[in-house]
């Protein structure tokens, strides 16, 4: 079953200068996939298009077979969630509980249901003991998990994460990746990760989509991408200090 299908996608910010062209792929429900490419390749633009924040100039984006352009903001939130690179871009409330509850509060979900869903999500994210803490007391890795929790609480079917491990030490890196693997396997959430990290791609995903200058140049296993010199060069995957 297809979770996210992109058909001949085209987008430009300025007319005549395409930032993405002929982008097409089909991600099945329950897959965990990487999207890789150099800075400026078009990855963030692609995630914003997938989330319906921008409209494609041409082509379609289907979530569970439904065109994202035709979904309401509420429906979209239930189908797809985007976790931005920095938790500081995402976190706007001083208290952890309020932050994770925010999306549901805005939608007018009843107080009792909010409490139930927030507590359940905090448990899944290993943040329940901190439910009454201020966000400012958390480590960077824990803040990252708060930003993931604030998206997960909306019950998305597809979760997109922009550089989920950026700026984190090995312990937090492992913690976050094991957590994402766990929600992918146990909750059946489709996970799409934008990453520059070769080890993360190899260890946690079976498939990677490579974008270069707005074009899709590969959709293959991480191992095959890394052994094709031309593609590997264009994918611009960096070795991390993971095994150094
Ligand atoms: P990536 O996330 O892969 O680094 P982006 O999607 O951010 O790439 O950017 C793709 C291209 O679009 C780049 O050339 C960038 O300069 C350009 N771009 C990004 N955002 C805007 C914008 N708001 N207006 C005009 N050009 C943009
Ligand atoms: Mg960039
Ligand atoms: Mg980006």
In the reported structure, the alpha carbon of residue 214 is separated from the centroid of ligand 1 by a whole-number distance in angstroms of 10
Residue 228 lies in a domain: yes
239 versus 218: the higher-pLDDT residue is 218
In a domain, 138, yes or no: yes
Higher pLDDT, 65 or 118: 118
Per-residue model confidence (pLDDT) at position 116: 97
Name the domain count of the chain.
1
User: Using CA positions, which residue lies closest to atom 19 of ligand 1?
Assistant: 45
Containing 184, the helix (H) or strand (E) segment is: helix 170-187
* Confidence grade of residue 240 (pLDDT, cut at 50, 70, 90): low
Q: Is residue 94 part of a domain?
A: yes
Q: Is residue 241 part of a domain?
A: no
Expressed as residue numbers, the domain containing 101 is 2-235
Do 161 and 194 form a contact (C-beta atoms < 8 A)? yes
Give the closest ligand to the alpha carbon of residue 38: 1
High-pLDDT (> 70) share of the chain, %: 98
Q: Report if residue 242 sits inside a domain.
A: no
pLDDT at residue 109, as a whole number:
94
Most confident listed range (61-75, 83-97, 116-130, 162-176): 116-130
At residue 111, the pLDDT reads: 97
Residue ranges with strand state E in 15-166: 17-28, 32-36, 58-63, 66-67, 80-83, 158-162
Q: How large is the ipTM?
A: 0.97
Domain containing 48 — which CATH number?
3.40.50.300
Q: Which pLDDT belongs to residue 170?
A: 79
Residue 240 domain flag? no
Query: Scanning the structure block, which residue is given the tokens 């031309």?
Result: 230
- Residue at 244 is within a domain: no
Rounded to the nearest angstrom, the distance between the alpha carbon of 47 and the centre of ligand 3 is 9
Q: How far is the CA of 44 from the centre of ligand 2 (A)?
A: 7
Residue 80, in any domain of the structure: yes
């Amino acid at each position: 079953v297809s979770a996210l299908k992109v058909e001949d996608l085209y987008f430009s910010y300025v007319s005549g200068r395409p930032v993405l062209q002929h982008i097409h792929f089909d991600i099945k429900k329950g897959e965990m996939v990487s999207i890789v490419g150099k800075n400026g390749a078009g990855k963030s633009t692609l995630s914003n298009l997938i989330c319906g924040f921008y409209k494609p100039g041409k082509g379609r984006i289907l979530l569970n077979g439904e065109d994202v352009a035709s979904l309401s903001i509420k429906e979209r939130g239930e189908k797809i969630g985007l976790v931005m690179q920095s938790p500081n871009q995402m976190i706007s409330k001083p208290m952890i509980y309020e932050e994770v509850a925010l999306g549901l509060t805005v939608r007018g979900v009843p107080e009792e249901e909010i409490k139930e869903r927030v507590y359940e999500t905090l448990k899944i994210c290993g943040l329940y003991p901190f439910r009454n803490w201020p966000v400012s007391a958390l480590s960077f890795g824990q803040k990252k998990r708060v930003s993931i929790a604030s998206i997960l609480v909306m019950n998305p079917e597809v979760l997109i994460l922009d550089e989920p491990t950026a700026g984190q030490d090995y312990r937090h890196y492992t913690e976050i990746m094991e957590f994402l693997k766990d929600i992918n396997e146990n909750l059946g959430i489709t996970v799409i990760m934008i990453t520059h990290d070769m080890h993360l791609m190899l260890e946690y995903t079976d498939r990677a989509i490579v974008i270069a200058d707005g074009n899709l140049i590969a959709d293959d296993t991480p191992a095959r991408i890394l052994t094709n010199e031309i593609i590997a060069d264009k994918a611009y995957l960096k070795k991390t200090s993971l095994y150094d």
